[in-house]
Chain A
């Protein structure tokens, strides 16, 4: 997680172009990765990153500085919100299909063994609803109540979507022979 001192944030507050460009270049890749977990298409994810940076530069005064990681976390939240705004335009989260998934038995340390890029690619292959709830809960650390509010769904829907997302991930891991496992009925 990138760290930025208070002085750097002051420069951003004063609209310093050099600092803005520096931040943009340093964090573009990270923010693109964040956005792509919600919006898979590259060009749409790019748009969200650009909107997120613009929003951040315009409202930098609203950043509550609590340490050198504050800017990174704040910018990440902005990106997630941009993505959710885009998703809400196209996706109705009440329509997430509740498919019946089989039980999956998978070796315990699969998450440690799996490569980061492989894991990311599997997450991107999840259905939109599963992927969104999984990313918000596991990666961003939101509670189910918060996710329910953000997506306009019930808390129980959020929980069930998370369970199904994990099951689906395990199935994909097994099917792709990324780890040893058995898929039951």
Chain B
């Protein structure tokens, strides 16, 4: 019984497909509002997607480029530049003069010479002091060349340190006191370095001076 009642009510209420009396909406304007809302939703939803995609592509591209550059740097240092930190003395070019106080210089030796296609040649300049910083410069030559670079090792020059006490040239100062007094004889004290002596000696520059020398 109740189910029957429900069905009757349902059919009656669902049959209402007209607007209530006194209510006359402007459907044209309502449709315009709805259309604008639909367009607005499309416009607000879409613009970020291509921006995100472009940003992602740029980021990945940049990262790949950076990685490639880093790899190329590694290739130059590892594959094309062969640096020998210590070279036997007979391989050093006679043209290179060795400064005494800066014992290490660079020699670039070309083993082959073929006039042909231009190719890059690497010249490695080893710094004067044996540090870990290397400068690599690139220049164009006309032949393919095999490059060998050597670092020169110069004969070690021993230095000697000496202590000198000199009594000769220092003027003596006399104190004019009546009381008994005494004064040390003034002397000159010096420290210095001397090259090209191998032995330890106490050789003095003149008779009023002492010199103590030691190799190091």
Binding site for B on A (CB under 8 A): 1, 17, 20-21, 24-25, 28-30, 32-33, 36-37, 42, 46, 50, 53-54, 57-58, 111-112, 114, 116-117, 119-120, 123, 137-139, 141
Contact = CB atoms under 8 A, between A and B. Distances in A.
Given A32-B19, A58-B38, A138-B13, 7 more contacts: A21-B35, A24-B27, A24-B31, A25-B27, A30-B17, A54-B37, A57-B34
B33 interface: yes
Chain B interface size, as a band, is 20 to 34
A23 to B, nearest CB: 10
Contacts, number: 73
Contacts of B23: 32, 42
B10 A138 contact: yes
A12 to B, nearest CB: 12
Contacts of A123: 13
A66 B19 CA distance: 28
Contacts of A32: 19, 23
Nearest to B1: A108
A139 B9 contact: yes
Contacts of A141: 10
Interface of B: 5-6, 8-10, 12-21, 23, 25, 27, 30-31, 33-35, 37-38, 41
Nearest to B35: A17
A119 B9 contact: yes
A171 B154 CA distance: 121
A112 B14 CA distance: 14
A116 B41 contact: no
Interface centre among A1, A33, A112, A120, by most B CB within 10 Å? Answer: A33
A138 B34 contact: no
B18 A29 contact: yes
Given A28-B30, A46-B25, A139 B14 contact: yes
B12 A138 contact: no
Contacts of A112: 8
Contacts of B17: 29-30, 33
A32 B27 CA distance: 12
A33 B17 CA distance: 7
Given A54-B37, A58-B38, A116 B27 contact: no
B87 to A, nearest CB: 77
Contact of B10 (A20, A21, A139): A139
Contacts of B14: 1, 139
12 contacts: A21-B31, A24-B34, A28-B25, A33-B16, A46-B25, A54-B34, A54-B38, A111-B8, A112-B8, A114-B12, A119-B9, A119-B13
Nearest to B14: A139
